[in-house]
């Protein structure tokens, strides 16, 4: 069965893969661009002192980040931080250098290059931060660079009409880019929130509210799956457990004590089983332990250990008087060609025999071929 949370989680995975590919593309294109600009400026003699250090450093950082992310996708967070910080530092250094160059800031070749590299800062900020913080960071970077451009242009040579139009177009295009990135990251945020809500609803629908164990609905789905996929050499095993004289606990100590006993027994069963096993509240004072891959000997040994652990529980009332808690267990291994309902019925019949034999014991179910009809357990 496909749940809404599975669909939403798949959407989140797709968005994460998309972001990783975009970051890879940014770093790859960045390396090629820096190499091209480096070669061009070195050929025509326009490279200044700061670029002689900046270009090799950017190529090194971009190349290392690209290779690390390509080989190890899980380092995306580290790569984003390194890329964002290194690129921001490089642009701020270049901006500081351009502020000391005579003439209008925007009209120079270096300034245009600076503005063209600026969107990488926005993208890295959005891929690294939450939506609101990323928007504030990107807008702050855009406003800071725009303000520096205006101050430098007003203090130096006045802008030509073409420079002024170029500045307006550049500011508008960068603002549109910030809005588009905001929408992309906001979409991921919405999908994540919806996924968390769907997962919470699925947990509530599949969990017993008192004990926190799986409920009957979820366990029945798992049993159907086990019947379809079972291997005969390591067939799954059911342990149907029932608290002995639980009605006397409710009548003598009250339902609050009964709930306390149920919670304590649920904790003992969960603590004594493997992560791959399922412990479910089957109904009332009954619990069902599903062992997906277990041999008969191991299942019998586990059932005995569960019985002894429950018997050793230290449950006391408000006057510190001990409340006796014991468990009867029916054990049934899935047989070839058996349905889920017949498998559960054999476990219930084994539990009935454990009750009939004095309670606080474990009994193994007979195979479908040799078992005899038995009256239903009261």
Parse the chain into domains and list their residue ranges: 4-203, 216-364
Overall size of the chain counted in residues: 378
pLDDT higher at 185 or 72: 72
In eight-state DSSP terms, residue 375 is P
**Greatest CA separation for the chain:** 104
pLDDT over 80 (residue 319): no
What mean pLDDT comes out for the span 27-33? 81
Q: Which residues of 82-119 are buried (b: 16+ CB within 10 A; e: fewer)?
A: bbbebbbebbbebbebbeeeeebbbbbebbebbbebbb
pLDDT at position 78 is 79
Lowest mean pLDDT among 71-75, 126-130, 226-230, 317-321: 126-130
Rg of the chain (C-alpha set): 34
Q: What is the pLDDT of residues 138-189, one digit of tens each?
A: 777 777 777 776 666 544 444 444 555 665 666 666 666 666 666 666 776 6
Q: Which residues pair with 362 in a beta bridge?
A: 329
pLDDT at position 52 is 82
Q: In 3D, which of 284, 300, 282, 272 has the Cα closest to residue 223?
A: 282
Q: Considering Cα of 38, then 44, then 48, then 53, what sign does the dihedral take?
A: positive
What mean pLDDT comes out for the span 270-278? 89
pLDDT at position 111 is 61
What mean pLDDT comes out for the span 204-213? 81
Q: In 3D, which of 39, 37, 31, 40 has the Cα closest to residue 59?
A: 31
What mean pLDDT comes out for the span 214-235? 81
Torsion of CA 126, 128, 131, 133, to 10 degrees: -100
CA atoms within 13 A of residue 336's CA, in its CB half-sphere: 3
Q: CB within 8 A of 344, min separation 6: which ones? A: 223, 238, 240, 332
Q: Tell the residue number behind the tokens 């062992």, with chain if given.
A: 291
Which SS3 state, helix, strand or coil, does residue 273 take? coil
Q: CB within 8 A of 271, min separation 6: which ones? A: 309
What is the spatial distance between Cα 29 and Cα 36, in angstroms, rounded to a whole number? Answer: 11
Distances, alpha carbon 296 to alpha carbons 64, 280, 292, 302, 365, in Å: 54, 20, 12, 10, 11
What mean pLDDT comes out for the span 298-320? 87
Model pTM score: 0.51
Q: Tell the residue number behind the tokens 């090194």, with chain if given.
A: 60
pLDDT higher at 120 or 356: 356
Mean pLDDT for all residues in the chain? 77
Q: CB within 8 A of 175, min separation 6: which ones? A: 142
- Specify whether the CB–CB gap between 89 and 121 falls below 8 A: no
Q: Which two tokens stand for residue 62?
A: 């971009």
Lowest mean pLDDT among 77-86, 265-274, 297-306, 336-345: 77-86
Distances, alpha carbon 114 to alpha carbons 30, 91, 132, 172, 233, in Å: 13, 7, 25, 16, 68
Distances, alpha carbon 15 to alpha carbons 73, 185, 197, 258, in Å: 14, 9, 18, 48
Q: Classify domain 216-364 by CATH number.
A: 3.30.70.270
């Amino acid at each position: 069965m496909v749940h809404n949370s599975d669909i939403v989680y798949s959407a989140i995975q797709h968005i994460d893969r998309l972001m990783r590919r975009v970051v890879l593309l940014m770093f790859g294109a960045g390396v090629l661009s820096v190499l091209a600009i480096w070669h061009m400026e070195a050929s025509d003699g326009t490279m200044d002192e700061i670029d002689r250090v900046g270009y090799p450093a950017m190529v090194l950082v971009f190349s290392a980040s690209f290779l690390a992310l390509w080989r190890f996708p899980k380092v995306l967070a580290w790569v984003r931080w390194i890329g964002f910080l290194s690129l921001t530092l490089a642009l701020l250094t270049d901006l500081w250098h351009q502020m000391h160059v005579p003439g209008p800031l925007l009209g120079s070749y270096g300034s245009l290059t600076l503005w063209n590299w600026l969107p990488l800062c926005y993208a890295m900020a959005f891929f690294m931060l939450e939506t609101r913080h990323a928007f504030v960071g990107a807008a702050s970077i855009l406003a800071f660079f725009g303000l520096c451009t205006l101050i430098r242009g007003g203090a130096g040579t006045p802008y030509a009409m073409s420079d002024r139009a170029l500045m307006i177009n550049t500011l508008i295009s960068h603002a549109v880019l910030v809005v588009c990135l905001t929408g992309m990251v906001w979409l991921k945020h919405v999908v994540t929130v919806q996924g968390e809500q769907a997962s919470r609803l699925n947990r509530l629908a599949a969990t017993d509210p008192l004990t926190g164990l799986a409920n009957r609905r979820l366990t029945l789905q798992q049993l159907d799956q086990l019947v379809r996929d079972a291997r005969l050499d390591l067939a799954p095993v059911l342990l149907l457990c029932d608290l002995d004289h639980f009605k006397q606990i409710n009548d003598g100590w009250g339902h609050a004590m009964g709930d306390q006993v149920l919670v304590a027994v649920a904790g003992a069963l969960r603590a004594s089983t493997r992560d791959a096993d399922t412990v479910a509240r089957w109904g009332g004072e009954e619990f069902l332990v599903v062992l997906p891959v277990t041999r008969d000997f191991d299942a019998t040994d586990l059932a005995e250990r569960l019985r002894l652990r429950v018997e050793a529980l230290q449950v006391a009332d408000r006057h510190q008087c001990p409340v006796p808690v014991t468990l009867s267990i029916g054990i049934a291994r899935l047989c070839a060609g058996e349905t889920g309902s017949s498998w559960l019925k054999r476990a219930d019949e084994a539990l009935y025999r454990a009750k009939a034999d004095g309670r606080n014991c474990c009994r193994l179910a007979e195979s479908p071929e040799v078992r005899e009809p038995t009256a239903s357990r009261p």
